[in-house]
Amino acid sequence: MKLIKRAQWGAPPTSAAAPIARTRGVKVHYLGTAYASRSHDRCDDKVRDIRRAHLDHPTEDYSDIAYNLLVCEHGHVYEGRGAKRRTGANGTAALNSAHYAVCALLGNSGLVKPTPAMLDGIRDAIEYLREHGDAGTEIKGHRDGHATSCPGDELYAWVKRGAPRPDAPGKPEQPTKPPTKPTKPVKPVKPKPVAYEPFPGASFFAPGRRSSVITAMGRRLVAEGCGRYEVGPGPQWGEADRRSYAAWQRKLGHTGKAADGIPGKASWDRLKVPNT
């Protein structure tokens, strides 16, 4: 399971939602609005947008993002309210107490078909809530018991089939063709040790500073799923580098001033920027 905790995507570590001991199971949701497919480094931006929209809702009086868990098209599971917290997404107080809510980052236009990775992630989320939230065995859609089209026809059809994993047992395997001639054993190549850039100091990251080290750092941030670049990364330190590094700090569990986007030695050493 690829779980992204609240502090890693920028929420307070603990939800303010009311505690709950157990539920009958889980209800599956979708966004119900237009949603475009995106690279994984932009998925947490959408999760933060959803939380802001819920907290700013004029009538619902949400205490937090409404969903317990959210799943992106790449199969990563974002901790919303989390386990043992009552959802605010199912429609009424009674419905919110009966089931947890898992939301797929899936729209009614744009990205409308769940990817295999997303279905796998939703299944991970359901099993996580069973293990950590004492969720029962029921798997339903938001439309079950509430007048809504959520979670969309395609995702709901998957729910009605029992929410199977895409690689569920019983899928026939394609036979592999044997090689026509024996292959010679390949002599293993001893990998060369990788040299990493030492921490250059916080003052190195001043606006406008140009260095190949900044480019190498940006590439590592993208590889870690923390890139916030529209173009690049490039050799000049700028706001996109700061936002990307802040996402890396949050991924490491830092919050507040410790996630301000200015590199420190501990987070830099863990990023392992290759020597250029």
Rounded to an integer, what distance in angstroms lies between the CA atom of residue 123 and that of residue 146?
22
| Predicted local confidence at residue 169, as pLDDT | 47
Q: What is the DSSP letter of 72?
A: -
Q: Is the pLDDT of residue 173 over 50?
A: no
Q: State the number of CA atoms in the 13 A half-sphere of 137 facing the CB.
A: 1
Q: Which CATH class is domain 2-160?
A: alpha beta
pLDDT digits (tens, 9 = 90+) for 145-157: 999 999 999 999 9
Question: Residue type at 55?
Answer: L
Residue 235 neighbours by CB under 8 Å, 6+ apart: 210, 211, 212, 214, 215
39 token code pair:
């690279």
| Predicted local confidence at residue 231, as pLDDT | 80
**What is the mean pLDDT of the segment spanning 56-62?**
86
5 token code pair:
């905790």
Residues of the chain with CATH 3.40.80.10: 2-160
| Predicted local confidence at residue 175, as pLDDT | 47
Confidence of residue 174 (pLDDT cuts 50, 70, 90): very low
Place of tokens 């009086």: 61
**What is the topology classification, in CATH, of domain 202-271?**
Muramoyl-pentapeptide Carboxypeptidase; domain 1 (1.10.101)
Residues of the chain with CATH 1.10.101: 202-271
105 token code pair:
């980052």
Question: Residue type at 242?
Answer: R
